[in-house]
Structure 1
Amino acid sequence: MPRKLALAAACLLLATAGCSGAGSTGSSGGDSADNTITALMVGNPQMEDIQKLTADNFTKQTGITVKFTILPENELRDKVTQDVANQGGQYDVATVGAYEVPIWAKNGWLHELSTQAQADSAYDSADLLKPMVDSLTGEDGKMYAAPFYGESSFLMYNKELFAAKGLTMPEHPTWAQVADFAAKLDDKGKGVAGICLRGLPGWGELFAPLTTVVNTYGGTWFEKDWTPKVNSPEFTQATQFYVDLLKKHGQSGAPQSGFTECLNTFGQGKAAMWYDATSAAGTLEDAKASKVAGKVGYVYAPVNKTEYSGWLWTWAWAMPKTTKKADAAWKFISWATSKDYEKLVGEKLGWSRVPSGKRTSTYSIPEYKESAKAFADITLGSIEHADPTNPGLQPRPALGVQFVGIPEFADLGTKVSQEVSAAIAGSNTVDKALADGQKQAEDVAKKYK
């Protein structure tokens, strides 16, 4: 485990007291000027879009300059956890997710945003989708981050490749059907994989899709009484299926493939299917960024024993308690998550690229409905059917579809993902990976039993 990731995980574990260490100065972040704020964000297309639009719009309107730092998902989590947990104060705003926010709110590391959101009638906080707000709400019932975009997961497929083979994709496919399609569509000679799936280590990379497969196969990380089930038959069967599918019919370089790599692979027409975040559709339908625009079909997340299996996630803007520029930070957050910002993206960059999945009103915009007609309804349906309280076949001890909502999961999930990724690469076995994972899960469970 990399030293930085280990430090980040250790900091996250301190549920009541902050982490101390180098850089723990408590000073305000970034530039000392009142009209400059620092922002740390994940390197997804929606974040790259806001970086392009901020200077000519937000800064021009408010006089507030935003200094952005963009990092890949795993590095972002490492960096933001260190800064927030250490009370480093380097950033005024940061993108965090549904996993971190309730934990960090409980620790007192984030500003609550409900007060500002509800006081600003133009912001229209009632328009925010309830599943997204709920995922960002602390034990006190207040919202501690504002959703930038929301997502579930679904299966994307290349309609031209399916038609060429005379194959028809059902709206609710099973994983067995997906594996059969992948075998028929895999064409290594033409550089086309049957399917693209994440194999990159990380609890939020590999285990985001894989945990949903575990759920629908009847597995779980922990039972209601915190009994660990990482090496159970159901968890093992789901993981072996996932690993075998990738090894037989997945993309080249699968152990190094995360969301971004699969987006590029599928978007270049190099994979027949891709199971991942619903938020990917906006980029895939942008002809300037994708070779498969207009050629993609979208269906619900594949299942085995459950009716639905999509995850629930939001990348959201949070304000660390260490910022000394809370007013400027809220102005940026409220702009970035507003109806006006969605309109700006649509008009300047294309309506399919609107950061959707967070506001009810988005799905009433005529231009958005037209550009997103291939995926908008199924995205909303997937979000509505995702159930973080009951995502599988048995009661759970903590919230979360594709994660377990406890501080220790970041470390546990990442460690197990490293071993599963090694199994995809052929240097480990699933049985060994999950046997080791079971021991680590047993150590976690001792705290909660």
Structure 2
Amino acid sequence: MNKKYYFVFSLILVSLLCLGFSTIALGWSWEEASEPYKGTTINVLTIPHPTAIEPVKPLIQEFEKMTGIKVNMEYLERVSLGTKQEMELGAHTGAYDVMHMDTSKLSRYYRADWAYPLNDFFDDPKLTSPEFVLDDFVKIYVDLVTMEGKIFGIPFTGESTIIFYLPQVLEEKGIAGPPSTFEEIEDIAAKIHNPPDFAGFGTRARRGEGMNVSCNWAAWLWGYGGSYFDENGKPALDSPEAILATQKYAELIQKYGPPGGGDFTHYELYTLFAQGNLGMYLDASVFNGIFEDKTKSSVVGKWDAAPVPAGPKNRTTSAYSHAMMIANDSKNKEAAWLFIQWFTSKDVQFRSSTIEGGGPGIVRLSVMETPEYIAKWGSNNWINANVESLKYGRSDYRPTYLPDWPQIGDTIGAYVQEVIVGEKNAETAMTELNKWLIEFMDEKGYPDWLPNFLKENNLDINRNM
């Protein structure tokens, strides 16, 4: 056989083995594993994620045919889903077997005993495919669904924080490359900022615990050497480091952000960048698909990505993942596990990320290394920027281990936004915020358990670069 064709044939064979055919050789099959559960119906409640759920919808019938398990899918947007999900879980209805896992609510679900730990499934050779290798998942995404050694969900999509930029704009100003530090963000933004039509830099500013300002502001908190709590487990958001971080974050938006940027979310920002009106944009990595969509973007092929820049004392990224969990009250846990396992399998991850309409935010390392994935998403330095940023992910980037984090995070966002829009200076806002947080946590009984919890789980420690 011609050496060239032999190499191509070998590459195809290896890819097939990696993406779903090796289970046959290993003596495990979906048909055999699901035999005891044929005829079972499972109910799934999740979000209509545009690039991670929508592309998989047509494939679910394959799972049903292969396993004999009927899957009823219900989709709700994030806020409505959260409300309904907590009502169902709190009432112990058992109406849903598989539910969306918002990693910011993991601690709440764990302490309420609403989510079923999945660890025992991993070692069950009858239920779990040999291809389900936990080490093949991006580690930080798994960390985000882990509490005290137990895993309560399996990630199906994820993201990091990276910086998008317009290289031509930088080149025109004689700037060699993208920023690698917070200081360089400011220096470059000052040179390219040309208001009101062109802003030098953009990042989220509107209050919010996950979707908005507290998501990106935390990189500055850690980057300047701050932390949420001190060594005794007491709130430390009035520390000099936290005050300076907030001041610097606000100044970037005030000086170099777009008009009205003090109340911008990701939507306004990625729209501006796609229109070519924003020079640098720090946010979730998954927006690259928008920038390469000719129907939505005027910067197709004209942008690049770089890893999250470093602060003076630390570099960290807002790693985030969406996951699927099994409700503790489910009566069909084994069938539910088979579905989650299939949904997050290499084969489904591969197809959902490479077909039309699919997205890049997959969780399987082996799929990220396939030629097809690289061919679709490897331009603009995006894969390198995302993978490099994920190295700096930390599960306590936001303290979602706090059962009341949604309220705490939203309140943090409110105070930070007050600084951004100039209603308060950073010292006043952070002092008031820390006072509120101490009183709130005392009322909720956090001092009784949080200090030991932080020490036992090695959390909220500022790890210098």
Q: TM-score range by the shorter chain?
A: 0.7 to 0.9
Matches within 5 A, 1:2-17: none
Equivalent residue for 1:39? 45
Work out whether 1:211 is the aligned partner of 2:213.
no
User: Which one-letter code corresponds to 2:207 in the other structure?
Assistant: P
Q: Distance in 2 between matches of 1:150 and 1:317?
A: 12
Matched ranges for 1:45-124 at <5 A: 47-59=49-61, 61-62=63-64, 63-71=70-78, 80-81=85-86, 83-85=88-90, 87=92, 91-118=96-123, 119-121=127-129, 123-124=131-132
The match for 1:173 is 180
Render the CA deviation track for 1:310-367: whole Å, top value 9, x for unaligned.
233222122322445545544443333221222222442267x2332x2120222101
Residues 279-304 of structure 1: CA deviation (Å, up to 9, x unaligned): 33344344455433322222222222
What are the Cα deviations for residues 161-188 of structure 1, in whole angstroms up to 9, with x where unaligned? Answer: 2223332234x62212112222222233
2:201 corresponds to which of 190, 195, 220:
195
Distance in 2 (CA, whole Å) between partners of 1:310 and 1:285 is: 23
Residue 407 of structure 1 corresponds to 403
Q: What TM-score do you get using the length of structure 2 for normalisation?
A: 0.75
Match of 1:146 in 2: 154
1:196-248: CA deviation from partner (whole Å, max 9, x where unpaired): 21112112121111011011111112112123221222111111111121122
Determine the C-alpha separation between the residues in 2 that align with 1:152 and 1:344: 21
1:377 to 366, 375, 384: 384
Deviation of 1:36 (Å): 6.4
2:354, 2:376 within 8 Å by CA — same for their partners in 1?
Answer: no
Structure 1 counterpart of 2:175, which letter?
L
**CA 117–212 in structure 1, closer or farther in 2 if over 3 Å, else same:** same
Report the CA distance between 1:91 and its aligned residue: 4.9
| 2:15 alignment partner in structure 1 | none
User: What residue in structure 2 maps to residue 299 of structure 1?
Assistant: 306
Contact 2:108 2:404 in 1 (8 A): no
* Separation in 2, partners of 1:212, 1:60: 42
Report how many residues are paired.
Answer: 395
Separation in structure 2 between the aligned mates of residue 86 and residue 197 of structure 1, nearest angstrom: 39
Matches within 5 A, 1:197-346: 197-204=203-210, 205-326=212-333, 329-346=336-353
After superposition, the C-alpha distances for 1:38-89 in whole angstroms (9 at most, x for unaligned) are 4232x6xxx1134433442213541523121123xx6655554555455466
Give 2:161's aligned amino acid: S
How far off its partner does 1:267 sit? 2.6
SS at match of 2:216: helix
SS in 2 for 1:213: helix
Task: Report the Cα distance in structure 2 between the residues aligned to 1:285 and 1:242, rounded to whole angstroms.
Answer: 28
1:123 & 1:106 partners in 2: Cα distance?
Answer: 31
Q: Distance in 2 between matches of 1:34 and 1:302?
A: 49
Q: For residues 303 and 51 of structure 1, do their structure 2 counterparts lie closer, same or farther at Cα, with a shift above 3 Å needed?
A: closer
Whole-Å separation in 2 of the counterparts to 1:94 and 1:379: 27
User: How many angstroms does 1:274 deviate by?
Assistant: 1.1
1:155 is aligned, of 151, 154, 163, to 163
- CA separation in 2, counterparts of 1:285 and 1:184? 26
Correspondence for 2:4: none
Alignment match of 2:146 (pick from 137, 148, 161): 137
Deviation at 1:155, TM superposition (A): 1.5
The 1-side partners of 2:336 and 2:290 are apart by 28
Task: Tell me the CA shift for residue 92 of structure 1.
Answer: 4.3
- Aligned-residue CA RMSD in angstroms? 2.9
Secondary structure of residue in 2 paired with 1:49: coil
Higher mean C-alpha deviation, range 205-214 or range 265-274 = 265-274
Distance in 2 (CA, whole Å) between partners of 1:265 and 1:152 is: 20
1:354 corresponds to which of 335, 353, 360? 360
CA distance in 1, matches of 2:274, 2:205: 18
Mark the CA change 1:370 to 1:56 in structure 2 (over 3 Å): closer, same or farther: closer
Larger Rg: 2
Note if contact 1:284-1:292 (Cα within 8 Å) is conserved in structure 2: yes
The change in CA–CA distance for 1:233 and 1:110 in structure 2 (over 3 A counts) is same
Are 2:159 and 2:361, in contact at CA under 8 Å, matched by a contact in 1? no
Give, as a single letter, the amino acid of the residue that structure 1 aligns with 2:106: V
Q: Which runs of no fewer than 5 residues in structure 1 stay unpaired?
A: 1-32, 389-399
**Residue in 2 aligned with 1:367?**
372
- Shifted more, 238-247 versus 336-345: the winner is 336-345
Alignment match of 2:416 (pick from 420, 429, 448): 420
Give the whole-Å Cα distance in 2 for the aligned partners of 1:112 and 1:423.
41
Q: Aligned equivalents of 2:144 and 2:249: distance in 1?
A: 27
CA contact (8 A) 1:101 1:145 kept: no
Change (3 A) 1:236 1:379: same
Number of the residue aligned with 2:33: none
What residue in structure 2 maps to residue 443 of structure 1? 439
1:273, CA displacement in angstroms? 1.0
Maintained 8 Å contact 2:208/2:413: yes
In structure 2, list runs of 5 or more residues that go unmatched: 1-38, 65-69, 452-465
CA distance in 1, matches of 2:172, 2:81: 40
